[in-house]
Amino acid sequence: MKMNWKQVTFVAAACAVCASVFVSSANAADWGQYEVDDRRSGFTYMTDESRAMQVDSFQNPGMIWVEQGAELWTEVNGKAGKSCASCHEDATAAMKGVAARYPVYDEGAKTLQSVETQINHCLENNMQAEPYKWESTEMLSMTSFINNQSLGMPVDVKIDGPAAEWYEKGKAFYYERRGQLDMACKHCHEDNAGGIIRANTLTQGQVNGFPTYRLKWQKVGSIHRRFRGCNKQVRSAPFGYGSDEYLALELYVKWRGRGLPVETPAVRN
Give yes or no: residues 131 and 261 share one domain: no
Identity at 138, one-letter amino acid code? E
Whether 230 is catalytic: yes
pLDDT of residue 225: 99
Task: Report the predicted TM-score, pTM, of the whole model to 2 decimal places.
Answer: 0.88
pLDDT of residue 30: 79
Within a domain: residue 1?
A: no
Domain region containing 142 = 63-148
State which of 114, 133, 148 marks the end of a domain. 148
Task: Note the pLDDT tens digit of each residue in 109-168.
Answer: 999 999 999 999 999 999 999 999 999 999 999 999 999 999 999 999 999 999 999 999
Say how many domains are in the chain. 2
Give yes or no: residues 69 and 141 share one domain: yes
Choosing from 84, 185, 188, 230, the catalytic residue is 230
Within a domain: residue 172?
A: yes
CA distances for 263 relative to 134, 188, 208, 236, angstroms: 20, 22, 6, 29
CA 263 to chain centre: 8
pLDDT along the chain (269 residues), means of 10: 42 39 44 96 96 98 99 98 98 99 97 99 98 98 99 99 99 99 98 90 97 98 98 98 99 99 98
State which of 118, 148, 178 marks the end of a domain. 148
Q: Bin 207: left if φ > 0, else alpha if -120 < ψ < 50, else beta.
A: alpha
Residue 246 is part of a domain; what is its CATH number? 1.10.760.10
3-state secondary structure of 35: strand
Residue 267: its H or E element: strand 267-268
Distance CA 41, CA 46 (A): 10
3-state secondary structure of 217: coil
Give yes or no: residues 172 and 204 share one domain: yes
